[in-house]
Structure 1
Amino acid sequence: MAGTDSDRPMITGGPAVILVEPQLGENIGMVARAMANFGLSELRLVKPRDGWPNERARAAASKADHVIDGVVVYETLAEAVADLNFVFATTARERDGFKQVRGPVEAARTLRTRYDDGEKLGILFGREKFGLFNEEVGLADEIVTFPVNPAFASLNIAQAVLLMSYEWMKSGLASETDTAFRGPDMEPASKVQLHSFFEHLEAALEARGYFRPAAKKPKMVDNLRSVLTRPAFAEAELKVLRGVLSSLDYFSPKQPRGSGYPERKALADRAAHSEEGAAPLSERGREAMAKRGVKHG
């Protein structure tokens, strides 16, 4: 499966997810998959309509077999929560009563704190069609509800489990902005490298008559530099741009890269060589420059 890696340790544990009278095996399987995505592994079922085990659930779990294999079935919700110390009930509807209502971020942090203290925890999810009865919500300690569209608040059960599982995983990160992998570390380009690129670009555009009318050249150059300084290029990125610019500036369809040593390239190399302090040009460079009547001092 895309995104899976059997060489890495599987994260397990966390609060038990409790589904009350789930109807479809496929929904149970998608719940198991959502749990496995975010490190939850204990799934409890209260009177699943189609019985258990259920091969459709296993198929829909997409290799979250450790969750499916660990499923425990209960006859009543009271039995399913009997050994737990603290339970959240999920609901999209306002309920009568005195229970604290929290959003998913705060609920996950509450669960994480209690879990770290060694408590056994659970999160209740109701039936696909109408959720939990009031007396079932009454078996929980607090309520968690999601900030959804009030005119369209119904969530698929797997979506609801996914949201809480995600918040659970996030609550355990050293920083909530952490990611599983990062982009490459790149050395920022120096101003010398950036200015050299500007000068090359300006010279190439000048040679092709880009700056027209001539009176507007200073403003056009200023605009180019403003655009190209905004991203704060890395050194490696400038090398890519310089390679592209060199191909466009020094070579052409009639004389593509690899077919010879264009005169503009020879002149540029000579200028760069002069600035660096008279290191000898390569034999190939001297021959190419000689063919074009360019004297090497």
Structure 2
Amino acid sequence: MSGSPGKVDTSRTGGVENPPVIILIEPQLGDNIGKAARAMLNCGLVDLRLVRPRDGWPNERATANASGADIVIDNTRVFEREEDALADLNRIYVTTARTRDAVKPVFTPRGLAPEMRANIGKGEKIGVMFGPERTGVRNEHIAMADAVVTVPLNPGFTSLNLAQAVLLIGYEWWQAGVDVPDYQMMMNDSFPATHDEVERMFVHLEHELDESGFFRVEEKRPAMERNIRNIFTRIGLTHQEVQTIRGMVSAMRGAKHKPKPKS
């Protein structure tokens, strides 16, 4: 075994002192290990364990492909036996896309995330095991696990590379612990316009449209005014946008009344 776990920097893990461990069984290319490490740190995972990496460890290609996820690479531990890599874990999940003979609970990554957080909240140490890139996990690996994780993908093509698989598990883990709205408006330095500001803009715009002869058919005017208002209320104008629209309307009126240059 090489490497040491070190103390977890909770500023890199979303405040979790004991995030899930990622175990890669017989990973082949250092590039794939590095990309998996990058995916891990994206999701606040920092404990990476390798079992019999084909090209040895440390690996320059892994460091290069980690793209700055040095905390993962530097603390990576290498084991010769799966049993040693899993020894200190209370609960182990194994990822596979194949149907096996063993009777095991099966989670999706989304279903697994709250399960892992609940068990970690009880003080348990959790690990997620990934098999070799070419063959995936073997039956003996599934026998070591408490449950199986399967990603619901296109039944006709379920193949994932190592980093993709790690990212799918890690992403759901991270999302289960953050409170981010599914939709929000990016306001930058502006703020929403008040109802009064928007109303004054409508009055200004409608006045200029009236002066220009836009409302030619009087009986259609109420519906046209509603349509105009719906256009602007639907997009949620900011204070600055209201000021800009009013400036545009004023500029067009000024241009209309500006004397034409003499030829």
TM-score by length of 2: 0.83
- Report how far residue 215 of structure 1 moved: 5.4
* Greater Rg over alpha carbons, structure: 1
AA partner of residue 121 (structure 1): I
- Report how far residue 159 of structure 1 moved: 0.6
| Equivalent residues of 1:128, 1:157 under 8 A apart | yes
Q: In the aligned structure 1, how far is the partner of 2:126 from the partner of 2:20?
A: 5
Q: In the aligned structure 2, how far is the partner of 1:148 from the partner of 1:104?
A: 12
Check if 1:200 corresponds to 2:195.
Answer: no
Check if 1:108 corresponds to 2:110.
Answer: no
Give the structure 1 partner of residue 4 of structure 2: none
Q: 1:245 aligns with which of 245, 249, 262?
A: 249
The equivalences for 1:1-297 within 5 A come to: 9-11=11-13, 13-173=18-178, 175=179, 177=181, 183=187, 186-190=191-195, 192-213=196-217, 216-251=220-255
- Report how far residue 232 of structure 1 moved: 4.3
Q: In the aligned structure 2, how far is the partner of 1:92 from the partner of 1:253?
A: 71
- DSSP 3-state at the match of 1:241: helix
Q: How many residues align?
A: 246
| Equivalent residues of 2:92, 2:129 under 8 A apart | yes
| Equivalent residues of 1:31, 1:162 under 8 A apart | yes
- Report how far residue 110 of structure 1 moved: 1.3
Question: What is the CA deviation profile of residues 25-47 of structure 1, one whole-angstrom value per residue up to 9, with x for unaligned ones?
Answer: 10000000001111100100111
- DSSP 3-state at the match of 1:138: helix
- DSSP 3-state at the match of 1:17: strand
- DSSP 3-state at the match of 2:129: strand
| Equivalent residues of 2:192, 2:237 under 8 A apart | no
- Report how far residue 166 of structure 1 moved: 1.1
Q: In the aligned structure 2, how far is the partner of 1:253 from the partner of 1:213?
A: 24
Q: In the aligned structure 2, how far is the partner of 1:178 from the partner of 1:213?
A: 44
Q: In the aligned structure 2, how far is the partner of 1:253 from the partner of 1:134?
A: 83
AA partner of residue 57 (structure 1): A
Q: In the aligned structure 1, how far is the partner of 2:86 from the partner of 2:186?
A: 40
Question: What is the CA deviation profile of residues 251-276 of structure 1, one whole-angstrom value per residue up to 9, with x for unaligned ones?
Answer: 46968xxxxxxxxxxxxxxxxxxxxx
| Equivalent residues of 2:30, 2:59 under 8 A apart | yes
Q: In terms of mean alpha carbon deviation, does 225-234 or 17-26 score higher?
A: 225-234
Structure 1: gaps of 5 or more residues: 1-7, 256-297
| Equivalent residues of 1:188, 1:234 under 8 A apart | yes
Q: In the aligned structure 1, how far is the partner of 2:218 from the partner of 2:119?
A: 72
- Report how far residue 178 of structure 1 moved: 7.7
Q: In the aligned structure 2, how far is the partner of 1:222 from the partner of 1:149?
A: 46
Question: 1:253/1:33 Cα in 2 relative to 1: closer, same or farther (>3 Å)?
Answer: farther
Give the structure 2 partner of residue 3 of structure 1: none
| Equivalent residues of 1:189, 1:233 under 8 A apart | no
- Report how far residue 100 of structure 1 moved: 0.6
- Report how far residue 221 of structure 1 moved: 2.4
Q: In the aligned structure 1, how far is the partner of 2:64 from the partner of 2:165?
A: 20
